[in-house]
Amino acid sequence: MHERPLDGVRVLDLTNVLAGPYCTYHLALLGAEVVKVEVPGRGDLARRLGPDPELNAAGLGASFLAQNAGKKSVELDLKHSTGREHFTELVTHADVLVENYRAGVLARLGFPWERLRALNPALVYCAITGFGQSGPMSQAPAYDQIIQGLSGMMSITGTPETAPLRVGFPVADTVGGLSAALAITAALAGRRHDGRGRFLDVSMLEASLSAMGWAVSNYVVSGTEPQPMGDQNATAAPSGTFTAADGPLNIAANRQEQFETLCRLVGREDLISHPHYAGREARKQHRARLNEELNVALRARPAADWERILPAAGVPAARILTVAQAVAADQVAGRGFFTDLPYPPGTPGAATARTDGALRVSGSGVLHDGEALTPPSAPPVLGEHNDSLPELLARWREADRRHERPRAGSAQS
């Protein structure tokens, strides 16, 4: 793919750890030039996070490597006058600024929205925080697990005996980052019509509530409070995890015809006309007994057999994989979801301990005109692009001159 949707878009990335870097990683995949502005000598906290102590010590923790490919890194101290001067020039010529400091931190460093907008009326400024820039919790620290708890997500994860449980990956951070990336691309599209920048105030808590879908909407619309149901689907039955001969199997026979097909294929046509299972609501009320009946029949074959037989007949079903199995799946490989890159310079043991010496990073899950968008370069070492900062600034200034974009002194209301 020669052109990407965000080619030519210049992004300043002041983010740390997950939600913010995940947002800007997707912007980089879409073609934006993303420049990480990192604290000198320390950088993104994720540089020291991951299961490999050697990588962490080198400032190349797995958490950092996973979502910073394709970006540049410059070290600037925004508490020092020289750092602020360089940052001022960068932000004057940037299209997007993303940060996930606690609310008000960037303003206290001398860069409130009013000043940023005066410097660059076309700037899209996105601030990602746990709770947003306003409200009684705006100054509270927030990590993914805190948001999961406050959103109600943990209260419906697990069974009545095990809830509340944390979802097994940082879903609130991920949803917050995706919401921010969507808002930024929308703001860039809107800017084409009016030339104005935007201030985007992203709340991870609110983004998580939005992503919870029916669990929230069923309550706010009908007053029905969701309960933890383990691996079962509250909206339909039989729908959840079942037991094949060699292990677990997911089946989602949510529609009447799917239920009937399932019963025929497992040799239990008698269940179709049974008064406890004939209709959708009846099946939900007698879910436990129905699941027992189906599990007895499903144990006749291994899960892989059912994964082949049921979907071919229109019944959604699949094995439950480990992360290692999912990563190795032919379906994922066939769409080019993962990209192999060289490790950053100086990565300890990259050519030996790390399998074939390649760093594998994920994509976005979206094909553009049939092609997966892949990062153009490895994640940067801390300050890798310090020496090229003058050239970068000169290039950004020249791009603004060519496009005649309004800058400092021409702020629009």
Task: Report the pLDDT value the prediction gives residue 405, as an integer from 0 to 100.
Answer: 65
- 355 pLDDT higher than 80: no
Query: What are the beta bridge partners of residue 48?
Result: none
**Cα atoms in the 13 Å half-sphere on the side-chain side of 183:** 23
Backbone angles phi, psi at 386, to 5 degrees: -55, -45
CA distance 154 to 327: 26
pLDDT digit string, tens, across residues 10-54: 999 999 999 999 999 999 999 999 999 999 999 999 999 999 999
pLDDT digit string, tens, across residues 379-389: 999 999 999 99
List the catalytic residue out of 144, 173, 201, 400.
173
- Does the domain made of 239-321 have the CATH classification 3.90.180.10? no
Instruction: Give the mean model confidence (pLDDT) for residues 299-316.
Output: 98
pLDDT digit string, tens, across residues 103-137: 999 999 999 999 999 999 999 999 999 999 999 99
- 353 pLDDT higher than 80: no
- 66 pLDDT higher than 70: yes
CA distance 17 to 350: 22
Work out the pLDDT band at 345, boundaries 50, 70, 90.
confident
Determine whether 7 is exposed, middle or buried from the number of CB atoms within 10 Å of its CB (0-12, 13-18, 19+): exposed
- 403 pLDDT higher than 90: no
pLDDT digit string, tens, across residues 232-261: 999 999 999 999 999 999 999 999 999 999
**What is the DSSP-derived secondary structure letter of residue 158?**
S
Domain segments of the chain as ranges: 10-212+333-403, 239-321
CA distance 316 to 173: 29
CA distance 283 to 44: 51
- 407 pLDDT higher than 80: no
Summary mean pLDDT of the chain: 94
**What is the DSSP-derived secondary structure letter of residue 34?**
E
- 80 pLDDT higher than 50: yes
Q: Judge contact between 48 and 56, C-beta under 8 A.
A: yes
pLDDT digit string, tens, across residues 158-200: 999 999 999 999 999 999 999 999 999 999 999 999 999 999 9
**Cα atoms in the 13 Å half-sphere on the side-chain side of 211:** 19
Contacts of 21 (CB under 8 A, 6+ apart): 13, 15, 44, 46, 64, 67, 68, 177
Is 144 catalytic? The answer is no
Task: Report the pLDDT value the prediction gives residue 347, as an integer from 0 to 100.
Answer: 87
Task: Report the pLDDT value the prediction gives residue 31, as an integer from 0 to 100.
Answer: 97
pLDDT digit string, tens, across residues 141-160: 999 999 999 999 999 999 99
Among all chains, which residue has been given the structure tokens 């969507």?
Answer: 182
What angle in degrees, to the nearest 10, is found between the helix axes of 171-194 and 19-29? Answer: 50
Work out the pLDDT band at 411, boundaries 50, 70, 90.
very low
What's this model's pTM, rounded to 2 decimal places? Answer: 0.93
Determine whether 326 is exposed, middle or buried from the number of CB atoms within 10 Å of its CB (0-12, 13-18, 19+): exposed
CATH number of the domain at 10-212+333-403, please?
3.40.50.10540
Task: List the alpha helices (DSSP H) in 66-170.
Answer: 81-93, 105-108, 113-119, 144-150
